[in-house]
């Protein structure tokens, strides 16, 4: 924590609607900080496709240095479909930061908020409250930028290591234990394809080793195809799920769709020392500048940041502030707010004003 007794937050607003959803999140943090006695110092820095067009780099060195020195990193959506590296891949500082700061645990909560429609029949009565933990530095993404392409074929390599898997599973079991202490089921499911690939059998074997150290956590093992089928039938049967990078990339979009869409979904990429918090959605250039963007995912990502800061620094008031934000969001949706994202008439300003009033 900074010497001036305020949390120093690196703010990377990004591209497209990134700045449009970042501004409400900062307003919410300032408001909840006033109520809870927390201090924040926000330092903004460039990152993303716009910076790449101007400088030829997704992030300047000064942005990386700021992220290294800050207590936490808030990241808006980054990248634009029309802006590409020479190999035709998109500008993605959100992925680069995971490798730079060894952010191996991608945490993707999916909680159905009262008043938000779900495509799953019965979800409004049964509820959805689960967390996908996506390994974020290895798996199929380990070969990002390193794949080999010839005229005849293209090859990418999946990498799963013992060191990262052990840290990932320990993180996952600790999260399941914390959820159990808060009244959740506290169950953990390993999702893989161990019946086909040796790498996933290796992954599952390490999971079993770590599970033996956490006997109070109920565990399960599922193949990713079966897991996906179950998620769209009975998502309330899941609590915490842990999986490889690419599987997590896909499954976390499925779970976000179950709770109203990507605009409702927060996320974090967490390592042993650093953490980045950002919404799950993209930059949505088709609605940029129109006031239509849903800031809820970004606001809830800020709440996740407060919970992480509380655990890291032992500041219990930060955890309470995060829960205060979640309760305010629940209140405004239960009260009838409906983003344009799922057919409503409420834009960025409406949702922001409602959450601030609820605080």
Tens-place pLDDT, residues 145-186: 888 999 999 999 999 999 999 999 999 999 999 999 999 999
Pairing of strands 105-111, 72-75: unpaired
Helix axes 316-334, 348-358, angle to 10 degrees: 120
What is the percentage of the chain residues whose pLDDT exceeds 70?
A: 99
Confidence class for position 3, pLDDT limits 50, 70, 90? very low
In this structure, the dihedral spanned by the alpha carbons of residues 61, 64, 66 and 70, taken in order and rounded to 10 degrees, is -170
Cα–Cα separations (whole angstroms), residue 139 to 82, 134, 159, 248, 268: 27, 10, 5, 10, 18
d(CA 121, CA 115): 14
Beta-sheet pairing, 154-155 with 40-44: unpaired
> What confidence score (pLDDT) does residue 5 get?
60
* Confidence band, pLDDT 50/70/90 cuts, at residue 88: confident
Q: What is the pLDDT of residues 318-349, one digit of tens each?
A: 999 999 999 999 999 999 999 998 889 999 99
């Amino acid at each position: 924590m900074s010497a001036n007794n305020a949390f120093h937050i690196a703010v990377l607003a990004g591209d497209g609607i990134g700045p449009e959803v970042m501004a409400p999140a900062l307003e919410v943090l300032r408001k909840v900080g006033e109520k809870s006695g927390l201090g924040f110092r926000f330092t903004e820095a460039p990152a993303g496709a716009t910076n790449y067009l101007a400088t030829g780099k997704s992030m300047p060195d000064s942005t990386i240095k700021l992220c290294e020195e800050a207590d936490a990193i808030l990241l808006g959506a980054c990248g634009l479909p029309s802006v590409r590296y020479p190999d035709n891949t998109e500008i993605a500082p959100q992925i680069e930061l995971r490798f730079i700061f060894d952010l191996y645990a991608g945490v993707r909560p999916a909680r159905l908020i009262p008043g938000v429609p779900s495509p799953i029949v019965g979800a409004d009565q049964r509820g959805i409250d689960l967390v996908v933990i996506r390994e974020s530095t290895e798996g199929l993404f380990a070969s990002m930028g390193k794949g080999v392409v010839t005229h005849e074929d293209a090859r990418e390599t999946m990498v799963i290591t013992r060191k990262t898997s052990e840290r990932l599973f320990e993180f996952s079991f600790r999260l399941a234990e914390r959820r159990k202490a808060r009244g959740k089921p506290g169950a953990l499911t390993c999702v893989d394809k161990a019946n086909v690939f040796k790498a996933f059998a290796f992954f599952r074997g390490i999971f079993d080793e770590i599970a033996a150290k956490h006997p109070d956590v109920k565990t399960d093992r599922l193949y990713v195809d079966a897991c996906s089928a179950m998620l769209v039938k009975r998502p309330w049967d899941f609590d915490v799920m842990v999986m490889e990078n690419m599987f997590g990339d896909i499954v976390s979009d499925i779970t976000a769709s179950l709770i109203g869409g990507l605009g409702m979904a927060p996320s974090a990429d967490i390592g042993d020392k650093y953490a980045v918090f950002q919404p799950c959605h993209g930059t949505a250039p088709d609605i940029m500048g129109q006031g239509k963007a849903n800031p809820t995912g970004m606001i809830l990502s800020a709440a996740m940041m407060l919970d992480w800061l509380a655990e890291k620094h032992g500041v219990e008031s930060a955890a309470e502030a995060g829960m205060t934000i979640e309760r305010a969001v629940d209140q405004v949706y239960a009260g009838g707010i409906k983003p344009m994202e799922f057919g409503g008439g409420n834009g960025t300003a409406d949702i922001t004003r409602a959450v601030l009033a609820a605080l």
